[in-house]
Structure 1
Amino acid sequence: MTHIAVFCGAASGTDQRFTQAATTLGQWLATHHHTLVYGGGRFGLMGTVATACLAAGARSSASCPKTYSHAAWPYPASSSPSRRTWPRASNRCWR
């Protein structure tokens, strides 16, 4: 299992191809038994990747800044919320 860090927009924009690509990436991560490392957001493209990934049964490792309220934390089942997760990622994916 590989930990893959993904960083992409907190907004979805108007081009649905990006939303579809984010969904496909999340599903691919789950299908190939990878762990998603991300910032813990639930909005925009990043939220789309996370939602698709977790819905398909993958694990996640989310880091959430202390300034977020509990209401902003999208996935209480995230496996290890920590500010140190990003450097631990085996691979990183930016868009």
Structure 2
Amino acid sequence: MQWNADKDAQGLSRKNHIRRHNVDDPNRNVAHWVFNENGINQTANAWGRSQDMGLQPTIQGNRWVYDVPSPNAGWGKKEILHYQVMGRP
């Protein structure tokens, strides 16, 4: 995973974007998913699993999206996440 490859829409690095999902932010007016554990570690582990499983990305515009099975990865809006969505490697 290339952690410093690009920035999100707010100009945050990948690591800083992921860190925003380590805690709930009830003041956000958009869906905000929260990791159950350290988001950096969970994402690194999910990336490794995606490679071991040979997952291929789906292309969404200029993004590569990997849906990685990750039981109990996190939560948001009364849902429990059982997968992680990751962008371009």
**TM-score normalised by the chain length of structure 1:** 0.28
Higher relative contact order (CA 8 A, sep 6+): 1
Larger radius of gyration: 2
